[in-house]
Amino acid sequence: MGVYTNGAIYGFSIFVDELSYKQVYEQPVLLQNIMDFRNAYNTLSQEQLEKATFNFYFEASSTYCHGVEEPFITPFPVSKDAVVKYLAKIDGVSC
């Protein structure tokens, strides 16, 4: 029992004292969506990066929600290190 995801990312958010960036899409993210997130990440100062928290939005399903059979989009917190590794994967890839 639990909440399960298919691993597809549907969006991103950044919180630094308040919501700084949030984009959630109806389809899994495309390269241009990732680049937009990277641009938002790169605008953060070192001080902001130290305070920032990040969420990736995934499609999920739950065995806890009786009567709710369809998947839903939900945020999951990710570490700054995970964000850096994710963004490094797209280095050298062009739109």
Residue pLDDT, tens place only, 65-83: 666 667 889 899 999 999 9
25 lies in which domain range? 3-80
Read off the pLDDT band of 41 (50, 70, 90). very high
pLDDT computed for residue 68 by the predictor? 62
pLDDT tens digit string along 17-37? Answer: 999 999 999 999 999 999 999
- Closest by CA position to 29, among listed 14, 5, 7, 48: 7
Max intra-chain CA distance, the chain: 45
Is residue 10 classed exposed, middle or buried when 0-12, 13-18 and 19+ CB atoms within 10 A define those classes? buried
**Residue 95: inside a domain, yes or no?**
no
The values of phi and psi at residue 19, to 5°, are -65, 120
Read off the pLDDT band of 91 (50, 70, 90). low
**Residue 8: inside a domain, yes or no?**
yes
**Residue 46: inside a domain, yes or no?**
yes
Q: Is 69 helix (H, G, I), strand (E, B) or coil?
A: coil
Predicted TM-score (pTM) of the model is 0.83
**Residue 94: inside a domain, yes or no?**
no
**Residue 90: inside a domain, yes or no?**
no
**Residue 15: inside a domain, yes or no?**
yes
**Residue 88: inside a domain, yes or no?**
no
**In this predicted model, which residue has the larger pLDDT, 11 or 71?**
11
> Within 10 A of 4 (CB to CB), how many other CB atoms are there?
13
Q: How many domains does the chain have?
A: 1
**Residue 87: inside a domain, yes or no?**
no
The sign of the torsion formed by the CA atoms of 24, 9, 79, 39 equals: negative
